[in-house]
Structure 1
Amino acid sequence: MKKTVILGTLLLGLALGGNAQTKTPVGSIGKNDPKAKAILDGVSTKLKSLKSLVANFVLKVEGGNSKVTDSQKGTVYVKGQKYKVLMGDREIISDNKTSWTYSKDVNEVQINNVDQSGQSMTPAKLFTNFYDKDYLYRLIGETTEKGKVLQNIELTPVDKSKNIFKAQVDVDKKAQTIVRMKIFEKNGNKMSYEISSIQPNATVADAMFTFDAKKYPGVEVVDLR
């Protein structure tokens, strides 16, 4: 999966094993589970009510042998449809019209137009009901962890040509927030995300959502628009 797609699925976390799980009946193939929809709608409504959001997360990449091959911490800032992601030596910034991807190790920034077709995934888009059009979803059970009840939802993409063949989202039942997500790729790799902290309605300046080349001496600008 490309970096931009990986980072576009932020604010989600690792689905850990070892918890007792109660299965629920699986609905008809090709149809969405109304119980899962109610949960996802509740999360979407709550997140869209926020003026801004700052979240710290951990990304883990697992190979087909289930061994962790990479682990990185990051932070995402979201305000409306604008966002900024900081992870390792990479920054991804979008003002909802233009996106900038900066790589510190090579001191290069790539500039692109934001895909307005609704096909791409972004941190801001996670706050809408993207799942209604792009995924089929079903509630597969509940797990209990550290005294919290997590509702486990499986999503499968409607577009079967995607490299992702399924994902699992864990939602804190009481707080109505997405806690974790694990993305399963067709090649056997897994991308796992876990939120370590969230600051709702944090103070976030609009200037954060544009790239100022003057602050990056010698940066190579690659304009792909």
Structure 2
Amino acid sequence: MKKILFLAFLQLLFPARGFSQNDPAALAVLDRFSSRALGAPSVSMEFNLRTENLADRTSSSRKGSVILAGDKYKLDLEDNIIWFNGTTSWNLLPAEKEVTITTPGKNDDSFLGKPSQIFSLYRKGYKSRLLEEKADSYLIDLYPEELNSDHVRIRLKIGKPALDLRNLEYKYKNGTTITLDVTSFDLKKNPSSTTFIFEPEKYRGVEIIDMR
């Protein structure tokens, strides 16, 4: 009996191992979702970001916004602002009056690490599954193929018929769940050439820490 319960638990914890092929219905939705977002001049979102940790029973919530064009983005949260121009990242902490300059790694699949990844990461390294289709939305799970991945799954709620992102959830093996509730999704903005870079003249008195 204990063995049966243990096996059932493993199936719940690692559902990706239960199927070896991508769900064609999920791929069809994701292809349309990706094509529409990446084909636009930019993607702008406003959202509520929730973090929950089952291990220590803590949770937090904050509002934010992001505008991205290709791999470039500006991510504005309540406690920091991040600019990325495709090669260099600037992370500003207004309260500490300091900005850190880095050259990010290329393997960060998280929304905060590389927002544009959410529109294309399903193409490689993930299995997809359409969990539910309603009159106004699709619910799709992405399961990492790598056993040593730090997360169990990524869940997307995609709106119909506009194919807008409604909700994004990362579930990690350490018990942490990060949820992005999207309140605004816009594909019509044309960002300026300075949108994705830190401009020191606008933040006088800020200490610059160059970690490149």
Instruction: Report the TM-score, using the length of structure 1 for normalisation.
Output: 0.77
Choose from 173, 181, 193 the match for 2:160: 173
- Secondary structure of 1:137's match? strand
Cα distance per residue 1:133-189 (max 9 Å; x no partner): 13211111234xxxx522111111122322211121111132222211111111222
Q: Whose helix fraction is larger, Structure 1's or Structure 2's?
A: 2
Q: 1:131 corresponds to which residue?
A: 122
Q: 1:60 corresponds to which residue?
A: 50
Structure 1 contact 27–33 (Cα < 8 Å) conserved? no
Unaligned runs of 5+ in 2: 1-15
Shift of 1:194: 1.1
RMSD: 2.3
Shift of 1:53: 2.5
Unaligned runs of 5+ in 1: 1-25
Q: Residues 132 and 66 from structure 1, CA distance in 2 versus in 1: closer, same or farther, beyond 3 angstroms?
A: farther
TM alignment of 1:196-211, pairs within 5 A? 196-211=183-198
Structure whose CA Rg is larger: 2
Instruction: Report the TM-score, using the length of structure 2 for normalisation.
Output: 0.82
Shift of 1:55: 1.4
Question: Bigger relative contact order, structure 1 or 2, given CA contacts below 8 A and separation 6+?
Answer: 1
What's the % identity of the aligned pairs? 28
Match of 2:118, as an amino acid? L
Q: 2:139 corresponds to which residue?
A: 152
Q: Distance in 1 between matches of 2:202 and 2:84?
A: 17
Q: Residues 27 and 62 from structure 1, CA distance in 2 versus in 1: closer, same or farther, beyond 3 angstroms?
A: closer
Q: Distance in 1 between matches of 2:25 and 2:58?
A: 33
- Secondary structure of 2:27's match? helix
Cα distance per residue 1:8-63 (max 9 Å; x no partner): xxxxxxxxxxxxxxxxxx99623211111111001001112211222111101122
